[in-house]
Amino acid sequence: MYRLRVESQFDAAHKLVGYKGKCSRVHGHTWKVEVFVVGEKLDDIGILVDFETLKEKLEKITERLDHSFLNDLKEIGNPTSENISRYVFQNLKGLPKIVKLEKVRVWESPRSWCEYFE
Ligand SMILES: [Zn+2]
């Protein structure tokens, strides 16, 4: 099996609804987003999937989130790292059939991340 990973990042503000603590106030993060795909069959030049294809698909999503107030994006729900990672995963449809989307990892800070996978 092969595993490929691409990353992107975005800056955005959010507040956690229903949270008891300072994260209930509006604040911002630079979120790093990693996407992992796996597969076992390479094409005839030895590529699983073009890194550029993956990056373009991921950046379409992160550009939508960049410099936004995440609470305005109703599809995400309460903008926790958990919900953001699921949102990215579920919007990464249309990947080449030869690969399986393994997981999306969202870093809220250099020491905290959440992964979503199905
Ligand atoms: Zn936060």
Residues listed for the chain: 118
Write the DSSP string, 18-44. Answer: T--SGGGS-EEEEEEEEEEEEES---T
pLDDT at 93: 80
Report how far residue 68's alpha carbon sits from residue 64's, in angstroms, rounded to the nearest whole number. 8
- Which residue do the tokens 């630079």 mark? 30
How far away, in angstroms, is 31 Cα from ligand 1 center?
10
Q: Give distance in angstroms: CA of 8 to centre of ligand 1.
A: 18
Residue 67 is among the residues annotated as catalytic for this protein: yes
| pLDDT tens over the chain, length 118 residues | 999 999 999 999 999 999 999 999 999 999 999 999 999 999 999 999 999 999 999 999 999 999 999 999 999 999 999 999 999 999 998 898 889 999 999 999 999 999 999 9
What per-residue confidence (pLDDT) applies to 97? 87
CA of 27 to the centre of ligand 1 (A): 6
Is residue 58 classed exposed, middle or buried when 0-12, 13-18 and 19+ CB atoms within 10 A define those classes?
A: buried
pTM for the structure as a whole: 0.95
How many angstroms does the Cα of residue 116 sit away from the middle of ligand 1?
18
44 Cβ contact list (under 8 Å, min separation 6): none
Q: Is 114 a catalytic residue?
A: no
Contact call for residues 101 and 92 (beta carbons, < 8 A)? yes
Among residues 84, 114, 77, the alpha carbon closest in space to that of 12 is found at 84
- Among residues 23, 40, 56, 63, the one annotated as catalytic is 23
